Amino acid sequence: MRVRVVEIKTDSEAAKWDRFVLDHPRATGYHLTAWRHVVEKAFGRKTIYLMVIDGEGEVRGVLPLVFLSSKLFGRFLVSMPYLNYGGVLADWDEARDLLLRAAVSAAQETGAAHVELRQQGPELQWPCKQHKVSMRLPLPRDFDTLWKTFPSKLRSQIRRAHKEDMTVDGGGVDLLDPFYAVFSRGMRDLGTPVYGKSFFRTILETFPKEARIFVVSRHRKPLAAGFVYGFGTMLEIPWAASDRRYNSFAPNMLLYSSALEYACREGFRLFDFGRSTVDSGTFRFKQQWGAKPIPLYWYYWLKEDGHLPELSPHNTKYRLAIQIWKHLPVTMTKIIGPSIVKHLP
C-alpha cells in the first residue's frame, strides 16, 4: 500500500493525528498536537509535525519535532524538548522508517547538527544513550492499600509533616504563583535555569483537566510544590521541588503522598515519578516509594561524524556556571533563567 509523509498544517490534519495518538497503545500525552501549541506559545519555537498517510488516507505514524537554535548550544531537532517523552510513533516499520528519513531531511534543511528522539523502547538503529530511567509505581485502586506498602520510616515522615500543621492544596492556575515560588528557588539551589512561569500557565490553560498543581504550606508559606500531568492510565509528576530550608519538616513527603492519593482516587493505574539517573539522590528518593526503574532510550542522528551531545549538568564544561548560578538571588534567576533554558532540550 502506498504511503507518504506529510507535514501537518491544518486543523483537520491535527484532528486525524490526535485520533491516531489516542488509539495507539504506545502513545504518550506529549504526542498530542496540543503540545505543539504549548511549545510554540511558551518558547516561540519552530515545530515540524510529520505524519505518514496510507493510500486510503489513514494515519500510520507520527513524529513531532521541535527546532532549537542558539549560538551557545547549537542547532538541533528534538522530540520532545523540555519534556520526558516523545519520539516516533508508528504502526509499521515502513512508516517508522519513512518518518526517520523525513526527520533527517528536516535536520539537513534547517542546518541541525543532530536529531534527538526520546523513545521508550529499544526500537531504532540510530546511536543511543541510556543515561536515564523512568521511575514508575503501579497503583492499587485505593490509597489505603498503597499506604500499607510504604516502609515504616516513610510513613513516619509523612505523619511528621501532618504534625507540623502543614496543609495541601490542589488546583490549577490559582496555585501557579506559590508553585513557581517554590520551584524557582529549588531550581536555583540545583544550579539550573528555571522555566518561565508562562510555560506552566500555558500548560494549565491548554490541559485544564489533565494538569494539576499541588502545594504544601505551613502557616500559609509554600514549602513544597508539584505539577502533575495525566494521560491514559498514567499520572506523571515531571516538575516538583521543595524548599530545602524546611527539609526537617518533610514537606516533600507530604507532597508526593498527596499526589499519589489523588492518583489512586482518580483511577490512574500507574504513577510516573519522572526521569532520574540511576543511583542518584532523586533515584533513591523515588525508589523508597516502591517505584521501579524503566529504561529510557534516547536515539540520535548525527551530522557527519558528530559526537553524542551532552547538554546536561553532568557536562564538566558547565560546572563553573552551575556553581555560580547556585549563589545568584532567586529573583535574578527568574529573570535570566527563562531566556537560557528555552535553548536547552
The 10s digit of each residue's pLDDT in 287-298 is 999 999 999 999
Average pLDDT for 65-72: 92
Selection from 75, 335, 66, 320 nearest residue 184 by Cα: 335
Average pLDDT for 168-189: 97
- The proportion of the chain whose per-residue pLDDT surpasses 90, expressed as a percent, equals 87
Helix (H) or strand (E) holding 251: helix 251-265
Cell numbers at 270, concatenated: 500507574
What is 3-131+297-309's CATH number? 3.40.630.30
Distance of CA 316 to the CA centre of its chain: 24
Average pLDDT for 8-31: 97
Would you place residue 316 in the very low, low, confident or very high pLDDT band (cuts 50, 70, 90)?
low
Distance of CA 311 to the CA centre of its chain: 16
**Inter-axis angle of helices 251-265 and 152-163, to 10 degrees?**
100
The answer for residues whose C-beta is within 8 angstroms of residue 25's C-beta and 6 or more apart is none
Whole-number pLDDT of residue 315: 60
Average pLDDT for 158-175: 95
Assess whether pLDDT exceeds 90 at residue 123. Answer: no
Q: Considering the entire predicted model, what is its pTM? A: 0.94
Question: Please, where in the chain does CATH 3.40.630.30 lie?
Answer: 3-131+297-309, 133-295
Counting Cβ atoms within 10 Å, is residue 68 exposed (0-12), middle (13-18) or buried (19+)? buried
The answer for residues whose C-beta is within 8 angstroms of residue 328's C-beta and 6 or more apart is 188, 336
Whole-number pLDDT of residue 272: 98
Would you place residue 275 in the very low, low, confident or very high pLDDT band (cuts 50, 70, 90)?
very high
Spelled out in words, what is the top-level CATH class assigned to the domain 133-295? alpha beta
Assess whether pLDDT exceeds 90 at residue 258. Answer: yes
DSSP 8-state symbol, 58: -
Average pLDDT for 216-224: 96
Helix (H, G, I), strand (E, B) or coil at 308: coil
